[in-house]
Homo-oligomer: A and B are copies of this chain.
């Protein structure tokens, strides 16, 4: 295999109850990344299509993740990366993760898969560190493992794959503004009261239970954030109204996707999903807020190979 093209999807993280540790892989929206072998023992980014991103391998997350991988293997050739961005940076659905994870996934395929999925998460995290200022794997883990993942710890990296309730789907709306993850992290308080910790833990524990039992009522009661979301909501236009309208249209839960500005709603049937999609889209339109909105099931497969040569 000389070259490979992959579709590296978006992801929703935090899901209100799992700040920095919980993530879901989306079916739609994603980057297309093509990686080809070269004779040079180096990484180059040949092209980046969309959003005016740098080709500098020390500043582009694909380059950073690829270099992290290259440090762990001794080979006599290199790779050339072509990136077709499908996710706008700073949108809250894992734009950087899609690029970095897609790149190292593709390189690993070209090398005959010497690295484990956990290794690929580690390499991708170097890209996440660069853009957000801190190591976290909540976006890259669900893309690489597929489905819904809980990152138990990033120290001795431990990723738990959680079950996917068969009817679960997500409605995602993205107002057309950019929030830099690093900026969105600044508003998060450094310390929380122990009672808040207990409440946040309890909600995450209950959410995990609801995934196994497919108890959507419990899920609805559990997808709540009393720690981070209250401080971040002001960054997102009309967040409270979108939340209210979405709930009134029957969604199970509503929250900020990642560090925003995208907002996710959960649903367990397509009729409700369509109703939610229409009502929240209508609200943004009525306020003249440009936006993108879509429905996605949970993507159990993660990154997908489109083409190999």
**Which A residues have a C-beta under 8 Å from some C-beta of B?**
17-22, 150-153, 158, 160, 162-163, 188-194, 196-209, 212, 218, 221-222, 227
Contacts and interface: CB of A to CB of B under 8 A. Distances in A.
A196 B188 CA distance: 14
Given A152-B221, A152-B222, A21 B205 contact: yes
Given A193-B191, A197-B192, A197-B227, A202 B162 contact: no
A163 B213 CA distance: 10
Q: How many copies of this chain?
A: 2
Given A191-B194, A196-B197, A209 B160 contact: yes
Smallest CB-CB A-B distances: 4 pairs = A197-B197, A208-B208, A201-B201, A212-B212
A260 to B, nearest CB: 17
Contact of A21 (B17, B191, B201): B201
B197 A152 contact: no
A159 to B, nearest CB: 10
A206 B19 contact: no
A21 to B, nearest CB: 5
Contact of A153 (B163, B189, B199, B212): B199
